[in-house]
Structure 1
Amino acid sequence: MCGLTVSVALHRSGQSCSKDQPSDESTKPTPQRQNANSLGDLRTKLNKSLDLIAHRGPDAKGVWISDDGMVGLAHNRLSINDLSPEGNQPIHSDDGLIHAVVNGEIYDYDRIRQSLSDSGYRFSSRSDSELVVALYQRYGAPSFLDHLRGEFAFVLCDESTGKIIAARDRFGVKPLFWTVVEGKGQARVLIAAEAKAFLALDWKPEWDVGAIADGGWEHGDRTLFRGVKKVLPGHYMELTADGRTVHQRYWDIEYRNKREVETRTVDEMVLGVREQLIEAIRLRLRADVPIGIYLSGGIDSSIVAGIVAHLVREQGVKLGNQDAASRIRCFSIQFPEGSGYDESGIDIAERTADWLGVQIFKKHMDEDALAEYFADSAYYCEHHSVDLNSVGKFGLSSLPREHGFKVVLTGEGSDEHFGGYTFFPPDFLLEPDYSMPDLPLSRDKTLREALQSSTQNALKHKLSRLGFFTHEVEGPERFQSVNGISMFDCNRVRQVPLRMFAGWVRQRWRGIDSRETASNAISPEAMEKIREKWHPLHSSQYIFSRSMLANILLSCLGDRTEMAHSIEARPPFLDHVLSDYANGLPPSLKVVYDPTKPGSSAGKGPWWEETNAASHAFSEKWILREAGKPFMSQELYERRKHPYTAPVKWPKGGPMYNKLRDICTRDAVENLGFLEHDVVERAFEDGFGDDAVASSARFLFCVGAWVTLSERFGVRRARVEDHA
């Protein structure tokens, strides 16, 4: 685990090409040996860059620069496997020609290491990160990526070929950004785990107003900052010796053909999920430090905790470096009692901990704490959010550190694989489940269409009631090419409407539809499968996983808020072997129709208030509940999903109101360049108090984050002439 920064010099203007369209216009650079002063200057800058992301790895720091000064690799280490100095980075191959900096964890370490040792590779450490270099040496690129199981982002330099390879894990658990800066007669490609690392390397940040206005930062490779891009999940970027930048996909999410009839029994598939999940968790218990668990009131983290307890107590598996049979430790967040947003669900997390026989520590997040953490959360996340969920997660991630833990297991990815979100049923109902043709919803078109209409209307009402944004641009006929699935509409409710931006922005991006931005970010290959091959539920899951999951949930509710406190989170549900199995399951085993379920929403939290009977007739994540039943209490087995959600409404004059007032001054807002202060002021008038308009509060959360980033990064004021 680490923070990494890389600088690569180019004798060109930065030609970039996509996976199947290499450029022939670049010329091969002539290596030029740099003088000692130049190399020293680069080393100084790389060390300062590491200081900006020292939170990602406070245990050690290392820099390697090639003799000609063309490549510099820098690394902050969070020591988890092999705590000795031999595990420090950058990593060098046994022949001294391959160098790398690696962020994250590679699992199934012992088996892979033994195989490589048997083939003659001489390891210099016991660190899992060294597998990246050893596998590359044995298999080459891109084949070596197929052997990596885990969460990772890394940059590898092969001096024998002149190649530089930057790769990111399959779901985007670990971040990786890149940009190009022009220097004195020379451009440099910069690659880092966080954009703030670029500040020490002559990067001058500017807003990408287009990515903010059209929602592009949530889809594809753009960010809030102009010219700063992400290496996409499941992709690698190659800087070749002849000066080209090539982006290549090495893996993508895949689903079964919707016309394929299921031949396995339900019991076989339940057992398959259970076995795959147990193995994914077992692999993530390997560490040379203690491992904890984030435990909420939901089934995802509870199943993880239950399986960990099973492995430790019944199979003797070590939990990190501890024999934790009697002291498994869990961490939970608790919002103010009576707010309706307390995920511990009137102490259900505590009752779950008692049932499992584990120890639980709670982080109480009241309004004072949320206000205190707000600006720091925005700074570390490097993007805005329409709620305070990330602020709560930022606070929670301080808790394991206080108790001496560097590693926690989490439940992210379960809803995406097993159909857990309340906005999945409308898309599930768009078509019959051809793989299970004897089910009522597969046979009864009238019933299915009636339920689809009812759940769709209920979803729209729910999102409106919770204060998510509405947009003027309509026209669902534009999206019939993706079978009319509603995920594009669900995604855009988090997108700040164009009407809330400055006049020049409204004019420049007039008529823009963030649904179109989202659809354009989908690869042609995936779009063809959405049209012809996948069931609408799976298409919806794919779009969500490649947008919201990768660009928001795994950022502000994952890596960025965790690593702000030097915490590595391991999400077993995002194990790609487990996900491949889950994606081959019939849709009707993920979302199950059960008209006998009670329709009351009483006591089920804000996401279930005022919902109709049709919405209650579906069991989300049904097969996961069955697979995890031996490892959780009956109370949890029967409980509806309660999303992790921070309160949105707060009183005028309270800590959150005052914090945003302090941040969003007239000068600060106008210095952004893309907002007008009068619009912000009106949001303050109706965004707080007993009759608060939740969408106004959500807008202010975004403004507060933008201002924080503007001031802490020194972002230049956006100008119309820069976005002609």
Structure 2
Amino acid sequence: MCGITVCVACPQQLVSNRLTNGFTNGHPNGFTNGHPNGHTNGHTNGNTNGHVNGDLRSSLREKMQASINMINHRGPDETGMWISDDSKIALGHCRLSINDLSPSGRQPLASDDGQIHAVVNGEIYDCDRLRKLCSKQHNYTFSSESDSELVLALYKIYGAPDFFQHLRGEFAFVICDERGGKRRVIAARDRYGIKPLFWTRSGENILMAAEAKAFLPLGWKARWDVKAIATSGWQLDDRTLFQGVKKLLPGHWIDITEEDGIQIHRYWDAEYEDKRKVETRTIDEMVLGVRERLVESIRLRLRADVPIGVYLSGGIDSSAVAGIVTELARENHVKIGSQESPRLACFSVGFPGSGFDESSIAERTAEFLGLEVIKKEVNEDTLARDFSETAYHCEHHHFDLNCVAKFALSTLPREHGFKVVLTGEGADEHFAGYPYFPVEFLREEDYAMPESVLASNPDIRKKLFGSVDTDMRAIFQNLGAAAEGATDDCPAMGEVGETTVPWTLLVWHAKRQLFSPWVRDRVQGLDYRQTVIESYPQDARAKMRSRWHPLHSALYMWNRATLSNVLLSCLGDRTEMAHSIEARTPFLDHHLTEYVNRLPPSVKVSLSRQVLEQTNGDEAETGGRDDQGPLWKKAAPGLTSFSEKWILREAVRPYITDELYQRKKHPFLAPMKWPRDGPLHKMLSELLTQESVEALGFVDYEAVEKSMGLAFGDEADTGAFRSLLYVGAWVTLSKKFAIEKVDMSSWTD
């Protein structure tokens, strides 16, 4: 893992007649790259020999080092830097040593011919096979045992974009290719956006970094992108909260040359089976197919030169990971990182005295597997104490305090000597684990399995559809979430077929009344679902309209938006790397996901035959289940009759307890109701002063004051509480990034 910062001077087509830039890049935890003081530090001193004034080079080095230091939490083990001979490119890297702990694993890296340099953030898996391919078949000479060097080797052998098909893992990297007397800069991000990569322009330079804060020493000044915030664009497309700072989208790469300027390409996107293709595989074949690919994905992620643990919750996903790791170690003698013992360490978080505390289930799972579980109890004091630091590291607001709990949890592994953990992220997004997926499953019959219960009983499916849709909306209301900015008619909705997903993606968006009057005027009449739809590629929209089943369209839309832009950030990389923890996500292995995406909808969401037999399609009499957690306690029978992630349950059945096999999905959420005058109430009251809120320039203080009066106590309005979390994050960022107050002139189209 590492942190990366990059500064590249714009090519001729954009700004200047030459490529001047600076990269600073860190090992697996980030990049920091940039030119120090604008375009002047990237230019030569006029001498025909191309040498750069020593003072300018020294200044570039100092500013690059300052940039690396801003994200040193991503890689505290060592730092490195490479500056081109003409000082137009600088690559900087801060390293978290995972594979090859020796000095040979340092970054930036150079190819065996010395003409290609790179900084790599993340992990490349299947290393042994790939190294053999590169060295024996293509005569590439490796200088280290680091997996990161594979990026250089594969690029040199296959070029771009062909080398992407060989990369398996989570990564963000920048390559500088100086072969043939020409300069080419390539930057890329993994298929699901597990690792971050941001870019912006500063003067005549292009800056790239794992976190936006790394831009600050390189001449960048943070400004709010109010339109991206107010219309939710920051969590849907390539925008961020900061004006001019963009995310490189998952599965995309940037190509920068003097001849063609900056070009952004897509090298991968999710695909689903044609909904009218009849499935010919048996259920047993599909279950085994999932199991084999998941086990292989986990096995590949157990390679490291440091100890590896697991984040264990009360859910099926992380429990399955822990169970599979345990069997691989005990039965197949697969080594868990550098550990000599097959005994796995598990790290868990709990909210004591709350219905949201699943730590007892995690403890029972650990006991079943014979594992050690180390628990972090997160109380109100912890959440209040860590709120601002979490917002600073995430660099965006969030609708729940679960990200603060994840921030606190991530202190545990390092305290016990671990740098790497395996997690369960991505399972819900591919196996349809969330409560808003059944309504999309019911929207249309599953042509792939015409003999399935609901496909052969259209009347039952239609009856259930209305009930489930109502249930889903009630759950959101109970959680204090309601879609904002959706009118009765949105012509663009036809672009993605009939679906409630654009509405669902907006339920956590900040409400219009929270913003200043001038912002409300700007968004008056806007349907934010338009922003949702426009964030998807045209070819994907066409498939949603005619080729994909609505459930698969829903999974695609969710994964391209909330998964990559929110969940893998504040519940993934940013809160983990704040404490120098590399998290590996086996459910997001693209060999596994590509297989799962091609499975029929009916094996992902399944309706109990017993319920159908008992009710004959009428509403069940059982109601919600008190033992399934607060999300389902008041749920109506429509949703509770479904088994989400059915095929995953069957695939991992040998590795989990009966309790987990039967338990419904409970999202990782923090409690939403807190007492008046408690630590959170006091913290937010002190943070959200009138002066601090009005200094933002785009928030209505009266709305904040009203929310403060409603957000605490036994009868707390959870929607008001979430509004305070949004503004609290904005105020924190405004102070830490020294962001000036904005006005209506800052609104950019």
Give the TM-score normalised by the residue count of structure 2.
0.93
Structure 2: distance between partners of 1:600 and 1:521: 36
Cα distance, 1:148 vs. partner?
Answer: 0.3
Q: In the alignment, is the contact (CA less than 8 A) between 2:653 and 2:661 conserved in 1?
A: yes
Give the TM-score normalised by the residue count of structure 1.
0.96
- Of 731, 737, 744, 1:707 maps to 731
1:72-221, aligned counterparts within 5 Å?
A: 72-118=90-136, 119-160=138-179, 161-182=182-203, 187-221=204-238
Deviations, residues 600-636 of structure 1 (Å, cap 9, x unaligned): 4222212112211111111000000000000011111
2:243 is the alignment partner of 1:230: no
Q: In the alignment, is the contact (CA less than 8 A) between 1:81 and 1:126 conserved in 2?
A: yes
1:376-391, aligned counterparts within 5 Å?
A: 376-391=389-404
- Of 484, 488, 510, 2:524 maps to 510
Cα distance, 1:238 vs. partner?
Answer: 1.1
Match of 1:322 in 2: 339
> 2:333 is paired with a residue of what secondary structure?
coil
Structure 2: distance between partners of 1:28 and 1:360: 56
Match of 2:533 in 1: 519
Match of 1:341 in 2: 356
Deviations, residues 411-470 of structure 1 (Å, cap 9, x unaligned): 000001101111100011010000000112112222111111110011111101111134
Cα distance, 1:520 vs. partner?
Answer: 0.4
Structure 1 residues 283-292 or 32-41, which shifts more? 32-41
Structure 2: distance between partners of 1:297 and 1:723: 44
1:11-30, aligned counterparts within 5 Å?
A: 12=12, 14=14
Match of 2:617 in 1: none
Q: In the alignment, is the contact (CA less than 8 A) between 2:490 and 2:530 conserved in 1?
A: no
Structure 2 residues without counterparts, runs of 5 or longer:
21-42, 45-49, 612-621
Higher relative contact order (CA 8 A, sep 6+): 1
- Of 464, 475, 498, 1:462 maps to 475
Q: In the alignment, is the contact (CA less than 8 A) between 1:169 and 1:233 conserved in 2?
A: yes
- Of 564, 588, 596, 1:574 maps to 588
2:65 is the alignment partner of 1:47: yes
Deviations, residues 654-698 of structure 1 (Å, cap 9, x unaligned): 000111111111111011000121111111001111111100000
Match of 2:47 in 1: none
Q: In the alignment, is the contact (CA less than 8 A) between 1:234 and 1:249 conserved in 2?
A: yes
Structure 2: distance between partners of 1:10 and 1:256: 41
> 1:104 is paired with a residue of what secondary structure?
strand
Structure 2: distance between partners of 1:719 and 1:125: 52
2:467 is the alignment partner of 1:448: no
> 1:440 is paired with a residue of what secondary structure?
coil
Deviations, residues 135-183 of structure 1 (Å, cap 9, x unaligned): 000000110111000000000000123110010000000000000001x
Amino acid at match of 1:469: A
Amino acid at match of 2:732: T
- Of 604, 610, 613, 1:596 maps to 610
Q: In the alignment, is the contact (CA less than 8 A) between 1:476 and 1:484 conserved in 2?
A: no
> 2:548 is paired with a residue of what secondary structure?
coil
Q: In the alignment, is the contact (CA less than 8 A) between 1:14 and 1:180 conserved in 2?
A: no
Structure 2: distance between partners of 1:470 and 1:439: 33
> 1:442 is paired with a residue of what secondary structure?
coil
Deviations, residues 285-327 of structure 1 (Å, cap 9, x unaligned): 00000000000110000000000000000000000011232x2
Match of 2:348 in 1: 332
Alignment coverage as a number of residue pairs = 706
1:519-558, aligned counterparts within 5 Å?
A: 519-558=533-572
Cα gap change, 1:63/1:291 in structure 2, threshold over 3 Å: closer, same or farther?
A: same
Q: In the alignment, is the contact (CA less than 8 A) between 1:56 and 1:76 conserved in 2?
A: yes
- Of 409, 412, 415, 1:396 maps to 409
- Of 448, 451, 461, 1:435 maps to 448
Amino acid at match of 2:195: K
Q: In the alignment, is the contact (CA less than 8 A) between 1:300 and 1:414 conserved in 2?
A: yes
2:645 is the alignment partner of 1:645: no
Structure 2: distance between partners of 1:240 and 1:653: 58
Amino acid at match of 1:529: K
2:301 is the alignment partner of 1:284: yes
Structure 1: distance between partners of 2:132 and 2:193: 28
Amino acid at match of 2:164: L
Match of 2:649 in 1: 625
Cα gap change, 1:28/1:46 in structure 2, threshold over 3 Å: closer, same or farther?
A: closer
Cα distance, 1:704 vs. partner?
Answer: 0.4
> 1:672 is paired with a residue of what secondary structure?
coil
Q: In the alignment, is the contact (CA less than 8 A) between 1:196 and 1:713 conserved in 2?
A: yes
> 1:76 is paired with a residue of what secondary structure?
strand
Amino acid at match of 1:5: T
Cα gap change, 1:595/1:266 in structure 2, threshold over 3 Å: closer, same or farther?
A: closer
- Of 687, 690, 708, 1:684 maps to 708
Structure 2: distance between partners of 1:81 and 1:541: 34
> 1:441 is paired with a residue of what secondary structure?
coil
Cα gap change, 1:382/1:472 in structure 2, threshold over 3 Å: closer, same or farther?
A: closer
Cα distance, 1:595 vs. partner?
Answer: 4.8
Deviations, residues 94-130 of structure 1 (Å, cap 9, x unaligned): 1111000000000000110011111211111000000
Amino acid at match of 1:177: F
Cα distance, 1:46 vs. partner?
Answer: 0.6
Q: In the alignment, is the contact (CA less than 8 A) between 1:155 and 1:165 conserved in 2?
A: yes
